[in-house]
């Protein structure tokens, strides 16, 4: 007999319209059990999904998502939605190559009305849909579900601002408030939401009034004044309701409601449906990350995204380690430790993260230098300009932002940092192909979108030691500087002490040769050396350059070795349009160097999700593909 008899019987989400409360509660239990069983086998986002089970079931009861529209912010909490919209049987393939995506994707299901992966887009997208609906005289409901973490972004408020102004009907924002981002949520907005939940909002105002009354000398309290004071308290009672902020923005506020009580959520959604006929509604739902699975409730940060684990014990499955070959530290850890160490000697160093304290390694820095570490929330644009302000006053800010999330701050990097030549360092983790998170998270575009920025120094290290040197170089070059490094572990090289700066704009010749020049950047330097060694055995001699700098490019070194070889291979783990290999092509053209050029970079298409190594091969950047491509390129060269 199946562990999920009721869930198995749900062939289409519309069946849930007809379920009784008892059936819906049972369905929620089974969805939760299915989630635990399934994610423990595959890994994936976990604690956020355990928090949305009851909400999803209740939504399915009230709405028909073949007609109504729903946008899940980020999408990492939408596994219950996927399970109930016909994708349950594909869960064993979750986040695998050609398998189910870990986020929502329009091409994956007709129920996925909008794709995401980056935070805080849901309100704008759902409002756009509602506006399109109105212009086309349709009548369905449009819903955005957004977490309290994602609500910290300016973009979320830009959406609220417009929705309140438009007075859009049949439009609802569900604020899924679990008091957590990935790390604990930060900022004054969270304080405001917490006050609503605890009833503190009204109490604070009452205390203030009481205090004001008490400070008036007794003899001067005329009866009239006493009446006014009493009236003020009553008025505050009326206006100091939870959600005043949202009410003032033009929303009808409902809540807070316990998001794990199916009956309560059903009631709230029923009321929301009524109120939505008048204008936009904000439903505040309080949930718990990890609800229903104790280890995840106790440590929601650790359980935000997980690998496979034992569901019974909560033990994470560990990869087998060969004791003779210890695993090198991750680039993230090397970055976090190095910055922490440098900041001990230089009190001008400050660090900024946009809600990715642990992900960027700044948790290490925060422990050592709490007053100099700033988590600004999911607010990359603000993070960049905040860093610019710090730099303008003489500090040395390091904005540690994943490559993919810095895309949010394009104009801020240009307008607030580069045009003013302010010494901000951008530490971009997760550069290149990241794997299971897929297209929204690959860090493929950074080199292309930063290479056009005036004043900026742009680098990528070949190993973890060079990462340290580049960080040091960036910190003390007195200009904007960015370094990008990959997800995963370093190469296991020795970390040199003391850390030294690199000469700016100078590459490194690693190997001499007279047939091919392999000009490689960052993660592709080691594979370039391997290919060169292999081709050498076949009689093809290759020079290898570690470019180090995409900007300024080492034009002298590259053109010198171009002249000494017959053809050039440029290699980067980034998008082909506009990145390092483009820079090499431009250099050859500008200098009139007529050489055949092979560009090994990610072609102009979407890279899907899956295992990092498989994707690298598929994009022609894995060790096998690189060897074959370069060998074939050499074969096809005109005879010398
Ligand atoms: C622009 C952007 N920055 C950072 C992230 C990384 N990220 C993914 S989920 C998340 C936390 C979201 O918190 P919340 O919205 O409260 O959802 P919860 O996981 O608590 O349900 C963050 C910071 C992202 N996806 N997009």
* DSSP secondary structure letters along 293-331: -HHHHH-TTTTSEE--B-TTT-PBPPPP--TTSPPPPBH
Catalytic: 289?
yes
Identify which of 79, 176, 181 to mutate to test ligand 1's pocket (most ligand atoms within 8 A of the CB): 181
383 CA from centroid of ligand 1 (Å): 15
104 CA from centroid of ligand 1 (Å): 14
Backbone φ and ψ of 109, nearest 5°: -155, 150
CA-nearest of 238, 210, 203 to 226 is 210
The crossing angle, in degrees rounded to 10, of helices 464-475 and 331-345 is: 40
The ligand 1 site (C-beta within 6 Å) comprises: 48, 51, 74, 76-77, 118-119, 147-150, 176, 178, 180-182, 289, 354-356, 378, 380, 405, 408
CA-nearest of 436, 449, 439, 355 to 402 is 355
Cα-Cα-Cα-Cα dihedral of 218, 224, 230, 231, to 10°?
Answer: -150
Catalytic residue among 82, 372, 408, 468: 408
pTM of the model: 0.94
Mean pLDDT score, 544-552: 98
pLDDT digits (tens, 9 = 90+) for 128-155: 999 999 999 999 999 999 999 999 999 9
Identify which of 72, 124, 305, 378 to mutate to test ligand 1's pocket (most ligand atoms within 8 A of the CB): 378
Is a pLDDT exceeding 80 seen at residue 440?
A: yes
Catalytic residue among 69, 82, 133, 289: 289
| Strand order through the sheet with 542-546 | 508-511, 542-546, 516-520, 567-575, 597-602
pLDDT of amino acid 238 = 46
pLDDT of amino acid 324 = 81
pLDDT digits (tens, 9 = 90+) for 235-285: 554 445 668 899 999 999 999 999 999 999 999 999 999 999 999 999 999
pLDDT of amino acid 237 = 47
Q: Which atom of ligand 1 is nearest to the CA of 73?
A: 15
For residue 314, say if its preceding peptide bond is cis, omega within 30 degrees of 0.
no
Mean pLDDT score, 162-191: 93
pLDDT digits (tens, 9 = 90+) for 29-88: 999 999 999 999 999 999 999 999 999 999 999 999 999 999 999 999 999 999 999 999
Structure tokens at 365: 């820095």
621 CA from centroid of ligand 1 (Å): 30
Is a pLDDT exceeding 80 seen at residue 463?
A: yes
Catalytic: 408?
yes
Mean pLDDT score, 317-339: 90
The crossing angle, in degrees rounded to 10, of helices 623-635 and 525-537 is: 50
Q: DSSP alpha helices (H): ranges in 299-429?
A: 331-345, 357-360, 362-368, 380-392, 403-406, 410-411
Kindly report the protein residue whose alpha carbon is nearest to atom 23 of ligand 1: 355
pLDDT of amino acid 22 = 98
Catalytic residue among 32, 69, 372, 380: 380
356 CA from centroid of ligand 1 (Å): 9
Q: Which atom of ligand 1 is nearest to the CA of 146?
A: 15
402 CA from centroid of ligand 1 (Å): 13
436 CA from centroid of ligand 1 (Å): 16
Kindly report the protein residue whose alpha carbon is nearest to atom 17 of ligand 1: 147
């Amino acid at each position: 007999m199946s562990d999920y008899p009721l869930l198995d019987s749900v062939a289409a989400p519309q069946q849930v319209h007809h379920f009784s409360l008892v059936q819906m509660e049972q369905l929620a239990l089974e969805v939760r059990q299915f989630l635990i069983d399934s994610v423990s086998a595959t890994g994936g986002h976990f604690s956020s999904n355990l928090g949305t089970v009851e909400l999803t079931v209740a939504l399915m009861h009230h709405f028909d998502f073949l007609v109504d529209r729903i946008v899940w912010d980020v999408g990492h909490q939408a596994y219950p939605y996927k399970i109930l919209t016909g994708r349950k049987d594909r869960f064993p393939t979750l986040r695998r190559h050609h398998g189910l995506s870990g986020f929502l994707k329009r091409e994956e299901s007709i129920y996925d009305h909008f794709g995401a992966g980056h935070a805080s887009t849901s309100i704008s997208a759902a409002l756009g849909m509602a506006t399109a609906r109105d212009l086309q005289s349709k009548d369905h409901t449009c819903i955005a579900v957004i977490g309290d973490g994602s609500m910290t972004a300016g973009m979320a408020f830009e959406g609220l601002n417009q929705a309140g102004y438009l007075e859009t009907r049949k439009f609802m924002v569900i604020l899924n408030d679990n008091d957590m981002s990935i790390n604990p949520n930060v900022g004054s907005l969270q304080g405001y939401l917490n006050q609503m939940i605890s009833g503190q909002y009204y109490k604070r105002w009452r205390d203030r009034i009481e205090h004001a009354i008490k400070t008036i000398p007794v003899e001067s309290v005329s009866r009239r004044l006493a009446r006014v004071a009493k009236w003020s308290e009553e008025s505050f009672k009326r206006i100091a309701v939870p959600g005043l902020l949202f009410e003032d923005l033009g929303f009808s506020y409902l809540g807070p409601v316990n998001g794990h009580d199916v009956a309560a959520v059903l009631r709230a959604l029923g009321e929301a449906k009524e109120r939505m006929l008048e204008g936009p509604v904000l439903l505040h739902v309080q949930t718990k990350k990890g609800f229903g699975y104790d280890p995840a409730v106790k440590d929601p940060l650790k359980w935000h995204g997980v690998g496979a684990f034992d569901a019974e014990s909560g033990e994470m499955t560990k990869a087998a380690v060969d004791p003779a070959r210890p695993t090198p530290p991750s680039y993230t850890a090397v970055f976090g430790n190095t910055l922490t160490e440098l900041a001990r000697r230089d009190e001008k160093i400050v660090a900024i993260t946009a809600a990715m304290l642990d992900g960027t390694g700044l948790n290490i820095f925060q422990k050592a230098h709490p007053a100099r570490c700033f988590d600004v929330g999911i607010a990359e644009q603000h993070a960049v300009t905040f860093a610019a302000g710090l730099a303008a006053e003489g500090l040395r800010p390091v904005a540690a932002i994943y490559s993919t999330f810095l895309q949010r701050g394009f104009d801020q990097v240009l307008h607030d940092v580069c045009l003013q030549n302010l010494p901000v360092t951008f530490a971009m983790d997760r550069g290149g192909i990241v794997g299971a998170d897929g297209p929204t998270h690959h860090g493929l575009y950074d080199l292309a979108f930063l290479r056009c920025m005036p004043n900026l120094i742009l680098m990528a290290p070949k190993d973890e030691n060079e990462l340290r040197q580049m960080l040091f170089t960036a910190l003390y070059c007195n200009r904007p500087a960015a370094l990008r490094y990959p997800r995963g572990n370093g190469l296991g090289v020795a970390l040199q002490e003391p850390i030294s700066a690199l000469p700016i704009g100078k590459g490194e010749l690693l190997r001499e040769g007279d047939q091919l020049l392999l000009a490689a950047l960052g993660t592709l330097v080691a594979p370039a050396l391997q290919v060169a060694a292999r081709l050498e055995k076949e009689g093809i001699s290759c020079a290898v350059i570690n470019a180090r700098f995409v900007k300024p490019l080492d034009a002298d070194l590259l053109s010198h070795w171009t002249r000494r070889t017959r053809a050039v291979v440029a290699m980067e783990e980034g998008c082909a349009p506009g990145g390092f290999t483009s820079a090499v092509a431009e250099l050859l053209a500008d200098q009139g160097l007529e050489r055949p050029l092979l560009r090994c970079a990610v072609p102009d298409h979407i890279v899907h999700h899956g295992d990092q190594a498989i994707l690298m091969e598929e994009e022609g950047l894995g060790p096998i593909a690189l060897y074959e491509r370069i060998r074939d390129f050499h074969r096809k060269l005109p005879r010398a």
